[in-house]
Structure 1
């Protein structure tokens, strides 16, 4: 069999890698069993909009005490005040830079470690054990040690976010690599293709769902780390703004910060989900 024919055979096999889902007709049957109804476009916006409506109605009728949770229109006014009279734009840019750099380092590191560990028994013996030990130690508990190593500047914050976001990428990508059925390796040996082609055309595509799932967790973890590290001697950023607001008892500004964190997390998760939908368009799942 020629190399081209081998790759074509593996392309067919790739579409049936575990986790790729059922055929389209089976998915339709499952959807009918779950209940009638057409697919809602942009359905992931429904929940946040409903939550905002409940918040606004509760504040309007007095169910939600303003001393406990500021009304959304007051939060919007506080946002405008922070934007016009303070450096909210600079704070947002500083926070996004920290989160973006930390997430990028974490994703690259987690992916490289997962691929090395998942495709090599020697790599797994050297890497997987320390990673599992790290999983049992909360990264936030290591912040005092990072402060001693890197100081309380930007480096400590980026390293903390990178470590927090690296773990879910590693775990899910590694699991995706290890969960591919061994029969595809036997097929590769039978049709006589090389290890490199097998990895490119079957192994890595088969691990892509796990990687993207890890990305969704990594985005959330990066924002969680951002919230914490910005409490450490930050002179800019959303966390710095919230720290000042807490000192002066400005509840509305605190809610502005919380809303910004939530919006960033939601938009980042949405971006990963849309990427997943495009990258895994060859899958046939219950989502259709």
Structure 2
């Protein structure tokens, strides 16, 4: 495949369908086929974004939502990775902790919203807790699976060479499980934004969710759609960051080689 065709398929092709949808959407809205009261045109959404940016509130909303999302992700990913590593390495820990974690995994974390409100109130703690809970399970599952899937021959070789526990973890276990761990990071980032959308409906006074709920009360549909678009763009940005991490950290692995 020529370099130009590779560039097209890697950089341009993923955006062809979204751009086509936007063009068709704008054309149908301008022609009156789709009522702007129901679904404003893309240009109307852009106008709403520019208006909020001039007022200075758009970036505040984005920063507030991003802070909530990544705070919860950091806590949840840390807990999930730690428990996944512990249970993956220690059979005793796995027998003790894996069953309760699997039971928690079967409970939809968003179904716990009423309990979370009772526990934490309607402040920031509730939102961060929900995001942390939603992201911890995927990180745990992928970390645990990555360690359990390691080649027993590599572990035996490390024992033959009398690697210390720390050296075995840094040289054998972590590199071997890293592809699965990074898959967990990527999946958790997606769950993070889905959870935040629901979490920000809990009496927020700032953030993208607050912007959407406030606009809904006044039937400002262009701002409502803007909020949906912002969530989508932030989710895509998070996915891009995760893929960059895979490319940088897994250059030796087929996943990283394909991403280059």
Considering the TM-score relative to the shorter chain, is it more than 0.5? yes
- CA distance in 2 between counterparts of 1:49 and 1:81 reads 28
Matched, 1:247 2:214: no
The answer to whether the Cα contact below 8 Å between 1:94 and 1:236 also exists between their aligned partners in 2 is yes
The answer to whether the Cα contact below 8 Å between 1:99 and 1:222 also exists between their aligned partners in 2 is yes
User: Cα offset for 1:122?
Assistant: 1.4
Residue correspondence of structure 1 range 1-288 to structure 2 within 5 A: 38-40=5-7, 43=10, 46-61=13-28, 62=31, 64-85=34-55, 87-285=57-255, 287=258
User: Cα offset for 1:184?
Assistant: 1.3
Q: What 5-or-longer segments of structure 1 have no aligned partner?
A: 1-31
Name the CA shift for 1:69/1:56 in 2 (closer, same or farther; >3 Å): farther
The answer to whether the Cα contact below 8 Å between 1:172 and 1:214 also exists between their aligned partners in 2 is yes
- CA distance in 2 between counterparts of 1:214 and 1:43 reads 23
- CA distance in 2 between counterparts of 1:232 and 1:45 reads 39
- CA distance in 2 between counterparts of 1:254 and 1:137 reads 30
Whichever structure has more helix as a proportion of its residues is 2
Name the CA shift for 1:66/1:148 in 2 (closer, same or farther; >3 Å): same
User: Cα offset for 1:44?
Assistant: 5.7
Q: Which has the higher contact order (CA 8 A, sep 6+)?
A: 1
- CA distance in 1 between counterparts of 2:84 and 2:8 reads 34
The answer to whether the Cα contact below 8 Å between 1:102 and 1:158 also exists between their aligned partners in 2 is yes
Name the CA shift for 1:41/1:108 in 2 (closer, same or farther; >3 Å): farther
Name the CA shift for 1:164/1:78 in 2 (closer, same or farther; >3 Å): same
Deviations 1:47-66 (A, max 9, x none): 34531332223322546553
Q: Count how many residue pairs are aligned between Structure 1 and Structure 2.
A: 254
Q: What 5-or-longer segments of structure 2 have no aligned partner?
A: none
User: Cα offset for 1:260?
Assistant: 0.4
- CA distance in 1 between counterparts of 2:117 and 2:54 reads 34
| Residues 174-183 or 277-286, more deviating | 277-286
Deviations 1:64-119 (A, max 9, x none): 55344321111100111122236222111111111010011011111111111111
- CA distance in 2 between counterparts of 1:220 and 1:44 reads 21
For the pair shown, which has the larger CA radius of gyration, 1 or 2? Answer: 1
The answer to whether the Cα contact below 8 Å between 2:135 and 2:188 also exists between their aligned partners in 1 is yes
- CA distance in 1 between counterparts of 2:146 and 2:8 reads 29
| Residues 235-244 or 52-61, more deviating | 52-61
What RMSD over aligned residues (CA atoms) do the two structures have, in Å?
2.2
